[in-house]
Structure 1
């Protein structure tokens, strides 16, 4: 029964949000944030079991994997530009990963956060499956890691391009790298709407940050535990 409610409601909210954004192009009118908020409100109001709603949206969820694979298309289209600038791309994405993890450890330590919470927060800037896996491997809580990924992704999609415009970052390649490195898949989707170049470089940054985080996070956490 939930199948006939969940899919039409999810799609209707998404389409309505996109249509509203065309008339009112405000960052807050985000096709991830608005439908999510409305659905949460409806589930709490009626109340409806979350597990049943998730089960009803499985056909949509199944499309996530091919959608991620489809992000390879803009990468292929921009292959020459990426190859020519591979070294600065690697440096930028590595710097992003180090800043993300190190600031989490530093701020969390100063606030007295539990190590398991730090491990859950440190993977906030990579895509959900990787974040959950890496977080668990270093002693984190996958559910918290997944929640933080969603929060960071939506925040990046809302604030990323306005902030880049404010600090006068206008190069599409730099914009894409910044969004993919900081806001993973949701930021990459927002970048793809801006242009092919932004989408390609955001996809590349998302992939590279995921790989680098998986490699660097265990080492940094081992160093953190040794120092503390």
Structure 2
């Protein structure tokens, strides 16, 4: 997957195309699987998907932790005044309106064929690869009323004497048999299996990270394992806490504090430690021949590219839903992307945010891989663009489901939920939907890709980019 992504990236560099190779590979992989199904047949395509799911399934399972470097590196961003911070927070309020427009467009589209978009009996619903059509359950032939026969009466059959007369057998008064506890070895096996990842990364931190760091000064092993351990700790929080304390935020906060303390032990300040965390030597630069050793953030960004490509798997799995609701995805994304491109910079600049930071808000709903080139095309502040893009994802994950519930969106309306969260909160919301509703995650992946591609395309056209810049006085 990364080799293909590297090849696409090289082609883009040769053609001077400003577009993330990972998102391009997502679209290419999805179209390639659709073509393979037509040419090779569904059975052979399943075997091909099974091979891709080995790395793809792993990267999708841990996609959330790959977002932490963007928050870990926030202390390196230029300082922002308190008043301007509150103004930037206030700009996030229109996101609810964007979600409402998505919701209404999706519901109108769902009623065009006379079918309720929340109907669970949709014949076009996608199925997991390898699954078969479920057989209808037979009607029960027994009564659903509770039985009137006591267990004591059914404990033993009646005895029959020599005359053929049946006499009831009284149940024996036996003490209840206590269940034997499992052996100690089995209990330890269950505990170790449940915490195998934590134990593995803990010993890598102790046996690899610490010796390498204090003997050579190379920080990647100790920072990488420490970041993963903090993420496991954040996942251990009670579910009610995680509704407000997102694991990515909690993990990033404790990662900054932890690697800061580790750096102080050998005389390195926070700025130096964070610059070691991500040096820009991801897989593409390493394969280009750079001799710089990667940092922990570079390892995460490399795995994040693989995760974005792997989003093509749930899109293919629920390809029937994508085809059925294609208009509900395309039309709202085009309208909202154009509106966001012109509205957000104008609103931000009108309330007193600087011109460069106002331009960065044009890409606030994009995934980070798309927000960076879109912001660069407009001449906006890259640090602000990265921060607001990540914060849009966090806000969508934390409050998006509540807003949809307040607007009375049914939980099984996967079209509205997938399109709304994907277009407004990009990859972080898609990562959440992968665990809660895979069908919505498939639509979210397509909405995220389409919304970002439209925005990057429009910002790459000089007349449109100049028109947006003129809104902030540039």
Q: Secondary structure at the match of 1:29?
A: coil
Aligned to 1:74: 314
More helix by share: 1
In the other structure, the counterpart of 2:133 is: none
Counterpart of 2:405 in structure 1 is 165
Q: Deviations for 1:153-178, whole angstroms, at most 9, x for unmatched residues?
A: 11111111121112122211210111
Q: Distance between the aligned counterparts of 1:64 and 1:207, measured in 2? A: 15
Change (3 A) 1:111 1:196: same
Q: TM-score, normalised by structure 2?
A: 0.45
Single out whichever of 143-152 and 99-108 deviates more from structure 2.
99-108
How far is 1:226 from its partner?
5.5
Structure having greater relative contact order (Cα 8 Å, sep ≥ 6):
2
Mapped pair 1:223 → 2:467 = yes
Partner of 2:392 in structure 1? 152
- The equivalent position to 1:102 in structure 2, one of 322, 339, 342, is 342
Report how far residue 224 of structure 1 moved: 4.2
Partner residue in 1 for 2:80: none
Residue 57 of structure 1 and its aligned partner are, at CA, apart by 4.1
CA drift at 1:142: 1.8
* Cα drift, residue 42 of structure 1: 3.3
Q: Which residue of 1 aligns with 2:432?
A: 190
| Equivalent in 212, 217, 222 of residue 5 of structure 1 | 222
Could you tell me which of 347, 351, 362 is aligned with 1:111?
Answer: 351
Partner of 1:50: 274
Secondary structure, aligned partner of 2:246: coil
* Alignment match of 1:202 (pick from 438, 444, 457): 444
Could you give the per-residue CA deviations for residues 25-84 of structure 1, whole angstroms, max 9, x where no partner exists? Answer: 642232211101222333556554102233134333321111111111110011111112
Aligned partner of 2:233 in structure 1 is 16
> Is the 2:342–2:468 Cα contact (8 Å) retained in structure 1?
no
CA distance in 1, matches of 2:415, 2:252: 30
Deviation at 1:100, TM superposition (A): 2.6
Worse overlay, 218-227 or 197-206: 218-227
What secondary structure does 2:427 align onto?
helix
Q: Label 1:68 to 1:106 Cα distance change in 2 as closer, same or farther (>3 A).
A: same
Q: Secondary structure at the match of 2:230?
A: helix
CA RMSD of aligned residues (A): 2.2
Counterpart-to-counterpart distance in 2, 1:109 and 1:51: 31
Deviations 1:4-41 (A, max 9, x none): 321221111222222325x4364223221110122233
- 1:176-208 Cα deviation digits (max 9, x unpaired): 111110111111111212111111111111100
The alpha-carbon distance between structure 1 residues 215 and 5, as it changes in their structure 2 partners (threshold 3 A), is same
The alpha-carbon distance between structure 1 residues 3 and 223, as it changes in their structure 2 partners (threshold 3 A), is closer
1:128 to 343, 352, 368: 368
Taking the aligned partners of 2:257 and 2:377, their CA distance within structure 1 comes to 34
Structure 2 CA distance for aligned equivalents of residues 130 and 163 of structure 1:
25
Assess if the C-alpha contact under 8 Å between 2:325 and 2:415 holds in 1. Answer: no
